[in-house]
């Protein structure tokens, strides 16, 4: 039975490692005794993180300041990692932009595409080939719950994360015979410096709740080698069940959009409606009773409306039996 270090060491390469989720991946890998090659564009913060981990865990850490958006980044990375046996690749680096697709500059969209999709593909191809030759190793793709349905106002980010999800799942199957474990972790809202910078009210209570980076990474490593993809967080998994199993594609896309419209222009021109069975599985009933999903303006509209539009939560229909109930969210200025 191999230890984690024996299977995925002696070196791990983590992109986007200066802070946030990437730094936490690096920390937990260092705790397992793996040496680290840490890639980021933020030179000062990367240096701080590298020195801290080396001192705290007594491992070798090689900081690599590199922009993954440049066309020939792999050439520079190969040179910087010369002589290192990379047993684990964590494709964590990612960038985003919030706004209407046509209002975001094309150059920004292309940078998002390069960092979030092109770079993970190139890295997986290069290091995955070396791992296949050694008959051991692992690759982690960090995707997002926005990959599960087209997410307006972060459209290119959502698309790139869908690319990572499907690529990672395909490679899980292709590389299994070579004893190379591939996992795509589908991350929800996580309390990181980047998340706080983009969130106007980071202390507000949300559903699903915001996860810590420590729990997100811990749950990810726990399933590496066991499944092609995984959603950290039990409440995130409930939300995933709703958006991928209960809602129509149209409703799922509409609901995610309603939570990301810029506050100054957030007007829902037409209601978003979903229909759910009156008799629900226990997990789904618990989910609905837990409160609002993304939108805070849910109201039951049929059958037997139980309250005026603008009720504060989407709740499980009372009673039991056959049939269904329809709920609406929208038709009001938020």
Residue 50, Cβ neighbours under 10 Å: how many?
23
The Cα–Cα gap between 227 and 229 comes to 6
Q: Is 157 a catalytic residue?
A: yes
Catalytic residue among 157, 230, 287, 327: 157
Which residues, in sequence order, are CB contacts of 163 under 8 Å at separation 6+? 116, 117
Per-residue CA distances from 316 to 242, 255, 273, 274 (Å)? 13, 18, 15, 12
Name the one residue in this structure whose structure tokens are 């920390």. 27
Question: Contact, 156 vs 25, CB < 8 A?
Answer: no
Per-residue CA distances from 210 to 91, 232, 323 (Å)? 21, 11, 34
> Measured over all CA atoms, what is the biggest interatomic distance in the chain, rounded to whole angstroms?
70
At residue 148, the 3 state secondary structure works out as helix
DSSP string, 179-235: TEEEEEEEE--EE-HHHHHH-S-TTS--SSPPEEHHHHHHHHHHHTTT-SEE--SHH
For residue 329, give the nearest of 285, 278, 275 by alpha carbon: 275
Beta-bridged to residue 117, according to DSSP, are none
**Catalytic center residues:** 157
């Amino acid at each position: 039975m191999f230890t984690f270090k024996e299977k995925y060491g002696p070196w791990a390469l983590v992109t986007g490692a200066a802070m946030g989720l990437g730094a936490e991946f690096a920390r937990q890998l260092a705790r397992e005794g793996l040496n680290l090659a840490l890639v980021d564009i933020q030179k000062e913060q990367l240096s701080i993180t590298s020195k801290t981990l080396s001192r705290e865990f007594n491992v070798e850490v090689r900081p690599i300041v590199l922009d993954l958006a440049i066309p020939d980044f792999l050439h520079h990375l190969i040179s910087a990692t010369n002589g290192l046996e990379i047993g684990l690749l964590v494709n964590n680096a990612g960038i985003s932009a919030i706004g209407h697709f046509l209002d975001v500059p094309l150059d920004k969209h292309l940078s998002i595409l390069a960092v979030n999709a092109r770079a993970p593909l190139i890295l997986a191809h290069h290091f995955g080939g070396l791992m296949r030759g050694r008959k051991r190793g692992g690759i982690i793709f960090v995707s997002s719950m926005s990959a599960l349905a087209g997410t307006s106002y972060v459209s290119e980010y959502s698309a790139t994360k869908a690319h990572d999800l499907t690529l990672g799942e395909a490679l899980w199957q292709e590389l299994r015979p070579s004893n190379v474990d591939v996992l795509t972790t589908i991350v929800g809202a996580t309390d990181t410096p980047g998340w706080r910078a983009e969130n106007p009210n980071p202390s507000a209570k949300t559903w699903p709740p915001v996860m810590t980076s420590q729990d997100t990474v811990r749950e990810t490593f726990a399933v590496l080698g066991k499944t092609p993809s995984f959603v950290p967080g039990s409440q995130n998994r409930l939300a995933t069940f709703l958006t991928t199993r209960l809602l129509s594609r149209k409703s799922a896309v509409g609901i995610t959009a309603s939570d990301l419209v810029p506050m100054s222009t957030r007007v829902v021109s037409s209601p978003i409606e979903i229909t759910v069975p009156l008799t629900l599985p226990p997990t789904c009933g618990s989910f609905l009773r837990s409160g609002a999903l993304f939108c805070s303006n849910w109201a039951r509209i049929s059958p037997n409306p139980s309250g005026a539009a603008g009720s504060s939560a989407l709740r499980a229909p009372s009673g039991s039996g056959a049939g269904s109930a329809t709920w609406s969210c929208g038709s009001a200025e938020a």
